[in-house]
Amino acid sequence: MNIGSATPRWQMAIAALTACFSVSASAAIAVAPAPTLDNTAYVVMDFESGRILSQVNAEQPLPPASLTKMMTSYIVEQALKAGRLKPTDMVSVSENAWCRGTNAESCMYLPVHGSASVIDILRGIIVQSGNDASKAIAEHMAGSEASFAVLMNKEAERLGMKNTYFANATGLPDPKHRASAHDLAILARAIIRDSSDYYKIYSEKEFKYNGIKQGNRNALLYTDSSVDGLKTGHTAEAGFCLTASSKRNDMRLISVIMGAKSMQARADQTRALFNWGFGSFEDVRPLAANTPLATPKVRFGKADVVKVGLTEPMVATIPRGQAANVKSDLQLTTGITAPIAKGTVLGKVVISLDGQSYGEQALVALEPVEEAGFFSKLWQRIKEFFSKD
């Protein structure tokens, strides 16, 4: 259902709401090309809308190295959030989890047969990229690292990570262990959205444990105050990888770089993507949540109409400077019939610019509508019969 064909009862309200977002037929959308980067794959995504702004080989399953640990930390964070873990719970360090301190792997340097608190383990995973911390928490939560990997893959499936398979909690090389740049951006978005109590750890520049102080390997944390996470990774097979997030004013971007040639290259490429993304795009919020956007008629209900709207604010990521040319189009379900529960999907709203969709969101009932009684429904049927052409 288009806004132009809305019922008079709410037509003026919607027209006023979207007046500053009407389409101009002559709208010219010009965006500078994304930077050319020397890596295996990359993606840059808007956090709020989830829109991909640029990508190369973003769906290709690749060795993710320690970017894997974002899933390990996410599972720990969600267990803390749900109360299945407590920050002060102690985690034992088996000989299998113990890190011997070679140059071949990153370590938190947990003492063998010792223990550490869950919150220290989480910092060791995120800041120090500790393989020992990752293995220890995996054994603590699932009995073994292999069983924990099953949990990782179930969570990846739930989040919609379609080109990912985890064989371990660390990212150490395994022929089956793969993730795509797009999937890792999806995971980063989930961490920022779902782990707000712990997300600040991803911006911590250093962590001292067992008398050993180590710095976060995300170089952008030291040079760009807008960057507040997330994780680095490196193996000979994977190259140098970085998942990062930057928030400037009211817009947040997520970048994933895989297979860069050096630590400096992954930082420089991420910085280039952020500068391009923030300079080329903006987020617009044309429609608010929990605000009636339409009152379509209801058949056989105690009420004649139902208020419909959004459960979350509508956000669209568009080329910068084009906000005045955005169109909001309401498309309502036909033949809406009671009973209707609150939250029932009754259509969708589509945001478009110059004929191109920039996102859509479900329209839902903002209130319940009970079914009318027998005689009321009978009378409505009679009126419907005689109103037919």
Tokens of residue 389, six digits: 């052409």
- Let me know if 108 is exposed, middle or buried by CB neighbors in 10 A (0-12, 13-18, 19+): buried
Is 129 tagged catalytic? yes
Q: Which of 49, 54, 73, 129 is catalytic?
A: 129
Residues 6+ apart with CB under 8 A from 29: 319, 322, 353, 354
Task: Tell me which H or E stretch contains 326.
Answer: strand 326-332
- What is the separation of C-alpha 212 from the centre of its chain, rounded to a whole number of angstroms? 34
Distance CA 378, CA 387 (A): 14
Count of positions (residues) in the chain = 389
DSSP 175: T
Q: Is 69 a catalytic residue?
A: yes
Which are the contacts of 264, defined by CB distance < 8 A and separation ≥ 6?
Answer: 219
Active site residue 22: no
Residue with token string 């191109």: 356
Catalytic residue among 49, 69, 195, 352: 69
User: 349 near 330, Cβ under 8 Å?
Assistant: yes
**Separation of alpha carbons 104 and 89, rounded Å:** 29
The catalytic residue among 66, 134, 180, 245 is: 66
Q: Which residues are catalytic?
A: 66, 69, 129
